[in-house]
Amino acid sequence: MSSSETSSASGETTLRSGVLSLSAATLVGLGYCGLAVSAYLILPYAVASTGSSAIWGVILTTVMMIPTAACIYMLSKRRPSAGGAYTWATEGFGPFIGAALGFAIIMMVGPLGSSLQPAIGGMTFNSLLDAIGVESNFTTGIVGALIFVVVGGLLVAKNVTLSTKAVSILFASEAIFMVLFFGFLIVKESLAGNFANIFSSSAFTGGFDGFKASLIFAVFALAVVDVPVSMAEETAEPQKNIPKMTALILGLAALTCVFSSYALSVAVTPDELASDIENANQVGPVYLIAEQFIGWGKYGVIITSATSIMALFVACILFAARFTHAMTRDGLAPQWLGRLHKTHQTPRNAQLFFTVLAFVLVLVVGIWQSSSLAGAYAWGGAIFSGLVLGIYVLINVTAIAVFAKRKGRGEHFNVFTHVIVPILGVIVIAWFLWQAFFSTYWSDELPFANGKSIVIIWAAIFIVGGIWGGIFLSRRKSVSSS
């Protein structure tokens, strides 16, 4: 009997199954998408780069993400697990590759993914101080980051139902404001006769390079297809609902990005948006657009930035802790880290560990980046984006290996869905990885702290993951033989 099977035999080491409905788990996934963060801080760059054709960039990126989403859909339907890609890679390639990939995923959503939110939360806190006339600086930003971490820690300290309710409420507040605000922009400008003619060649204001840049920003906003997997063991009917969530989250995130991009396109010209980006405060250019159109309503941008960041922070902690738990029950991570709370059956040690680590990383990287929270966010975000793309490539490769083994056991096998689709996913995501990550950051034009250091840390995470896997596998073998 494997260690995972042994673990699942005991209620104290098993996540509480069936406590999340399809809607609740989907809302957590959407919270992880950070829709307001994307709309306020990512999509403006896409629209400024290429004008209203950014909408086509979002649509094309969605289509290009479909092969990877399809692989996750098929794998989660066949074997839903909190370990997600770690579990699948273990099945397809063995425990060593599984452990290396699992470590990379934990690093992506744990220290890195979780720390991004307090960093940008501190920037939002500073923006609020600026708005009410209080001077802000790096120290006040760190105080704001600490506030986000403490509140986030409280929201993940108990049962997963409470955490998901909190994410749902936070997400609902940002969604309502975004629909009202961006809807108002579209209606107002349409009544004034201003439409974004996305079918005209004039829509491509930045040429091919600008459109390519918009694709890169769009993929960062839409890299969400692996989100539902970590909730598999706590979601009712996971083999049916997790694949549904994969499709729902990608579709809803894409729809929101198209809606937001169109609103920004009709509200201001690309040149005006570029100027707003240049002159924006720490919440981003949409704050200035809101000030122009709805006056005091601009504070809604700050508030929903905060709620979106908090929802994203909590979702990251939940995500990372469940991957960690899946590895600890297979003996591939420190046992204390994945131990479940006796009452709530949640990996609370891991949740609180990543919560504290997020703040420490923000502080250390912020100081290293010339006492800049924006620098910490940009540095961590770049590594995070590279890890997402690298992991997506490996998920597609894993799908081929898993289904090839399935064929070897005489199970159903389809060349198109089990081979061609994953290969398309590898090609598409590898192109993004090269264009958006390596070509950008492995450059002599950037300072080491903002360029090559990012690629080096990215590579080091995969290398350390391999070392991590080797160490824990040798320990597991020693225990088994004793």
The CATH number covering residue 269 comes to 1.20.1740.10
Would you say residue 7 lies in a domain?
Answer: no
The residues, ordered by sequence, that sit 6+ positions from 154 with a Cβ below 8 Å of its Cβ are none
Q: Name residue 235's beta-bridge partners.
A: 20
Is 311 within a domain?
yes
What pLDDT does residue 9 have?
36
What is the pLDDT at residue 282?
63
Give, in degrees to the nearest 5, the angle at Cα 245 between 109 and 13.
60
Query: Is residue 202 situated within a structural domain?
Result: yes
Look at residue 14 and tell me if it is in a domain: no
Q: In this predicted structure, what is the pLDDT of residue 10? A: 39
Domain assignment present for residue 433? The answer is yes
HSE at residue 166, side-chain half, CA atoms within 13 A, is 22
Within-domain flag for 29: yes
Instruction: Find all residues with CB under 8 Å of 71, minimum gap 6, and list them.
Output: 395, 396, 398, 399, 421, 422, 425
* Contacts for 252 with CB less than 8 Å, ≥ 6 apart: 30
pLDDT in tens, the chain (482 residues): 343 433 333 345 677 787 788 887 787 777 777 888 889 888 998 888 888 888 998 999 999 899 999 999 999 988 888 888 999 999 999 989 999 999 999 998 888 888 988 998 998 898 888 888 898 899 999 999 999 999 998 888 877 777 888 888 888 888 999 999 999 999 999 888 888 778 777 778 878 788 887 887 888 788 877 877 888 888 888 888 888 888 888 998 999 999 999 999 999 888 888 887 876 666 678 988 998 999 888 889 989 988 888 888 888 898 889 889 888 988 888 889 888 888 888 888 999 999 999 999 999 999 999 999 988 988 998 898 889 999 999 999 999 999 999 888 888 889 999 999 999 999 999 998 998 889 888 988 888 988 899 999 999 999 999 998 889 888 877 766 65
* Domain annotation covers residue 11: no
Q: What domain count does the chain have?
A: 1
Question: What is the C-alpha separation between 45 and 213, in angstroms, rounded?
Answer: 9
Residues 24, 168: Cα–Cα separation, whole Å: 7
Domain, as residue range, for 274: 19-481
Angle at 20 between CA 162 and CA 246, to 5 degrees: 120
d(CA 311, CA 309): 6
Note the pLDDT of residue 217: 83
**380, part of any domain:** yes
